[in-house]
Every structure is written in structure tokens, then in C-alpha cells.
Chain A
């Protein structure tokens, strides 16, 4: 489904990612783990077209995304829940969701999808007329996920779901994602290694812009090096 091969990504003149290759198969839950500044968000920026790679290729369902604009990539069925949620604070919850459905693939069944999203996150239903800026952090994260789902994506990219959220809320949202239909493939990027490993099938470890490890999440969880470096055990 997503096939990233050997991309180098720069921010300005500074190289941030070196030869990153990642594969995500249909219906899979894959995590990319790394500490602050490892380049996780930069990787997602490359996939979404915000920061095109200088070298390498990104294929989505066999089609190259390199050279496409973010809005074109969205139309193909890639949706992102960005770091820090970035809801439209002065627009209502309902309007935020509608914005998510702006791509043609989302607009056709807007009503139905919105009902579905409100069913997944019932808190949003009660607050649909409220400005998004008045929601709590957890609710904003749910809104950001809901907004991404509104475009009926095939691939959902999630950047730092747990950022700034209470552990209990993080757990709840992760569990909701586990229950999402299998047709949505999820690639999540996390600093919260434990949660991410628990809720993914495979994982890659990113360190200072380079992939250093990859493997089955449950096996990585048992790995001594990983436990020492990331889980504080």
C-alpha cells in the first residue's frame, strides 16, 4: 500500500532524513518510533507532500507521490492527524469535520461519514456547535482523528497521538483506533514507545534521521536494547 524507498529529506539546507525505506501493507498497523528530533514528523511531511524528498521514491498503491502537492495526495486517500492536532480553533466541531470531508472522496457521503465519526467519538456529537478551540486536549485529538476520517482515507497517518494527553485518554483513543474497520491502514509516529508497540503490528525505530531497527512490535517489546533505551527498564 505504502512503499517508501530510500528517501533523503532536507529542511532548508539541513538534511534531516537519510535513506529511509518503509513498507506498510494493506490493513496493517505500523509504528515509527523515535525520540525528540529524530525526524518522525519530517517523515510524515515527506509522505504528505509538504516536504518533498530530494532523493528516493514514495509509492502509494503503486503510484508515485513525489512531485504531488499535499492537496492532491489527500485526494488519493491519505489523511493525516498532525502533531499538535491543529484543529481549526475558531470553527465549530461540525465545521472542522466538514473541512475533513472537503476532498471529493469525502464530500459525497458527508452526512453518513459524520454520523459514523460521531458514533466512534460520542463526545463530538454533543459539542458539534462549539468552537473547536474550547475543547479539551483529548477531545481535540478525537476531533483531529475524526476530521481525518471524514475524507474516507485508505491510509491514516498519525503524528504523536499521545502528545500532551493524560495516559488514560491516550489509552482510550488507542483502543478506539484498534476497533476501526480493517480497511483503514494506519501508520503512527510516536515517542510513547510502549503504547505504540502495544497497538501496532510492526515497528521501525528512527534515530537521528536514520532507521536503526525494525521488526514485529511484540518482539521489539521484549528486546533488551529497546527496553533499556525507550522503556526505561
Chain B
């Protein structure tokens, strides 16, 4: 049971980490919290469901296309809703909150309250650690999550885009003076943040089917992960995501399934008591 709960924890933890990276990116650069993060995660799940299941596309193509569509949707949202609110963070908070409710209701109207599931990538199960059989689909989700996280690390640490992202989140005006078009960067990074939620969504949807409100707990956990890991820290997102994934599943296995989210907040409070800036956070931040 321990090993099984650990595996489940790692899978869901990787997804939390991905979702949290998206939140962290947008908060770091734009100081905007996107309350509709979870609904974009779900949107990608629906897209991949429609593309693969209804239109019969290959599942990989459907996933890539779903993420790309959510990226474009994110750019559209930044352009129409977020950009006019610069200078007043409260407005963007309220607007994205409204957006999340609008999207939830749109999903309900279009897809109904029933769970929808894009096709799985692989079938069967693998004997892991010589101890138990574990679903291949979940293993594949874990690997896919790890690959996307690695991609984000390379993007942020090694490329020009990553460099200007880090510079802009440290000193926006200075970055602008160094030639960065921060208006365009905002748009791209908001889109990228949404795309990361989407990546999490398409990866997990074959395991946990999408429903109109299934994004809420994921987004909530992603916000907790960002604070737990420390604002602006990539490693914080990864470690924080895994911790919460593990705690949630081990807690459910050994204590009770009903307290899943309570465990998250207990961990958060304990960590913040010891390290107010989060696990990997900077002092001043």
C-alpha cells in the first residue's frame, strides 16, 4: 500500500508541479494571479477529448494541438482582459475569477456534468519494484510530466527567453531599458502559463477524467504549491508539487480520503511557520 500510494503521489505531484510552474511564471513576471488557471487545465482536457475522441486524431497530435489552442486562448485573454488592468492587480484578480466561473458554466452547458475522458495512450500494467502492478497510463503520465518540467527548466535557465523572463521578474523597468518589450513578454508569458496548465490537463485527463469543476482543486493546490515552494522558485514548484502529491495520497491511504485538502494546508502552515518565504523562497521576497 505504501508503494502504491507513493506512486500515485508522484504522478499527481508532477501534475501539481506543472500547474504550479504556470502560476509561478505569471505571478513572477506580471504580478497577476490567474484564477482561471484550473479552468484552462480543464479546457485542454476537453480539447484533447474532442480532437482525439470525436474527431479521431492521433492522441499525441490531439494533445499538442490542445495545448497550442489553450496557449492562443491565454494570449487572447491577456490582450483583452489583463492588459487594460496593468497597474491595478485587483482588477485582474476579479476578472480572472469571473472568467473561471464563466468557463465552468460554459463547460456545463456544452459537455454536461458528466466526466469526459480522452483515450489512453497505453494499456496494461507494469510490475514495478518487483512489488505490485501499476497502470502503464499512469507511468506514462509521470514520464510525460517529467519531460515537460525538464523542458521548462531548460527554457528558463538556458535560452534568451528564459533570461529575459528572469530579468523582467527581478526588475521590470531595467529589463525594458535593456531592450525587452515587456508588453509582448507579458502576453507570451501569460500564454505560456496557460499552456503549462494545459499540458498538465492533457497529461492527466486520461487518468482523471475532466468535469466542469475538476479544475478547481488542481488550481487551488497549484497556488498552495507556489507559496509552499517559495515565490519565483522553479525548484520550489517541483519539490512543493511532489510533497503535496505525496502527502495527499499517503494521507488518503493511511488516515482518510476526506481530509485530502486539509493535509495540504497543514503542510503549508507548518512550512510557513519555519520558513516564511517558502521552501526555496528568498528572504526579501
Contact = CB atoms under 8 A, between A and B. Distances in A.
A147 B181 CA distance: 18
B173 interface: yes
A91 B167 CA distance: 8
B157 to A, nearest CB: 10
B166 interface: yes
B133 to A, nearest CB: 45
B180 A88 contact: no
Interface string B224-258: 00000000000000000000000000000000000
B178 A100 contact: yes
Contacts of A106: 179
B183 to A, nearest CB: 8
A69 interface: yes
A139 B178 CA distance: 19
A10 B228 CA distance: 42
B99 to A, nearest CB: 28
Contacts of B271: none
A99 B175 contact: yes
A129 to B, nearest CB: 13
Contact of B164 (A69, A75, A102, A147): A102
A73 to B, nearest CB: 9
A70 B176 contact: yes
Interface in B138-183: 160, 163-164, 166-167, 170-171, 173-183
B154 to A, nearest CB: 15
Given A50-B173, A89-B170, A71 B163 contact: no
Contacts of A69: 176, 181, 183
Nearest to B162: A95
Nearest to B185: A71
Interface string A52-74: 00000000000000000111001
A86 interface: yes
Contact of A71 (B167, B171, B180): B180
Contact of A80 (B170, B175, B177): B177
B177 A50 contact: yes
Nearest to B180: A71
A131 to B, nearest CB: 11
Instruction: Give chain A's interface residue range (CB within 8 Å of chain B).
Output: 20 to 34
Nearest to B181: A71
Given A99-B164, A102-B160, A102-B164, A88 B174 contact: yes
Interface in A167-217: none
A90 B178 contact: no
A99 B166 CA distance: 10
Contacts of B183: 69
Nearest to B176: A70
B130 to A, nearest CB: 43
B177 A103 contact: no
Interface centre among A69, A86, A88 (most CB of B within 10 A): A88
A82 interface: yes
Contact of A91 (B166, B177, B181): B166
A48 interface: yes
Given A71-B182, A102-B160, A88 B167 contact: yes
A8 interface: no
Contact of A88 (B170, B173, B179, B182): B170
15 contacts: A48-B177, A50-B173, A50-B176, A50-B177, A69-B176, A71-B180, A86-B171, A88-B174, A90-B166, A90-B282, A91-B167, A95-B163, A95-B166, A102-B164, A102-B180
Q: Which 6 A-B pairs have the closest CB atoms?
A: A103-B179, A74-B179, A70-B176, A102-B179, A86-B174, A71-B179
